[in-house]
Amino acid sequence: MDDPIRILIVDDHTIVRDGLNTMLSRQDDFDVVGEAGNGVEAIEMARRMEPDVILMDLRMPKMSGVEAMRSIGAENPRIKTIILTTFDTDEYIFDAIEAGAKGYLLKDTSREDLFNAVRTVFRGESQIDPGVAAKLISRFQELSRLGPDTLSEREVEVLQLIARGSSNRGIGRELLISESTVKTHVANIFQKLDVSHRTEAVTRALQRGIIRL
């Protein structure tokens, strides 16, 4: 018999971790090697336990799932992550996929679908909730219709806050996204507007009518 799939559960709710642990441990080919309650703990546990698959929540104290996933992936790209969350908004989905998530499931998924996702991702394939996949397809189709210098709705929101003098940290708090995600948006804005600093970005956006003061 092959070695079981080593799984790390990361969620800030104890009752969720307990439920997942009990459910997953009943599968002969699964081995739950640890649990973490936030992104910081997840990084430490991943480093120590070297799981094959991580089930990662998105919004947690101390550090988000996306930030933790980026750090873990940089240290050990062999570890595969499945996002397991209640959030299916575009921003969460795209941030997670961009950060390297191999799976994205909602917490109302069936246990069989969850089991299949773990096995599928472990084999090196991807598993995306059908509703989430539909949003990804829609977004890619939308982007294909836009020119390279067209800002996304989120990028316009970030730029509007930059124009008001908000820092990256302040923008993250306002939009409920991580500071690293804000930095990514700012870099994309600079590239699309062909500018090199914030003041120039705001000036060009005002000239083009993208934002208003």
For residue 144, what pLDDT is reported?
A: 53
Q: What is the mean pLDDT of the chain?
A: 88
153-207: which CATH topology? Arc Repressor Mutant, subunit A (1.10.10)
Structure tokens at 161: 């806050």
Give start-end residues of each CATH 3.40.50.2300 domain in the chain: 5-139
> What pLDDT is attached to residue 97?
83
More confident residue, 135 or 49: 49
Q: pLDDT (tens digit, 9 = 90+) per residue, 148-186?
A: 457 888 999 999 999 999 999 999 999 999 999 999 999
Interacting residues of 26 by C-beta distance below 8 A, sequence separation 6+: none
Please state the three-class secondary structure of 27-77 as a single string: CCCEEEEEEECCHHHHHHHHHHHCCCEEEECCCCCCCCHHHHHHHHHHHCC
Q: What share of the chain is helix, strand, coil (3-state, %, to 5)?
A: 55, 15, 30
pLDDT above 60 for 67: yes
User: In sequence order, what are the beta bridge partners of 104?
Assistant: 83, 128
pLDDT digits (tens, 9 = 90+) for 100-132: 889 999 998 999 999 999 999 999 998 888 777
User: Is residue 155 a contact partner of residue 185, using CB atoms and an 8 Å limit?
Assistant: yes
Correct CATH for 5-139 of 1.10.760.10, 3.40.50.2300, 3.40.50.720, 3.40.50.300: 3.40.50.2300
CATH 1.10.10.10 location in the chain: 153-207
Give the pLDDT confidence of 180-208 residue by residue, as tens digits. 999 999 999 998 888 888 988 998 888 88
Task: Give pLDDT, residue 148.
Answer: 47
pLDDT at 86: 87
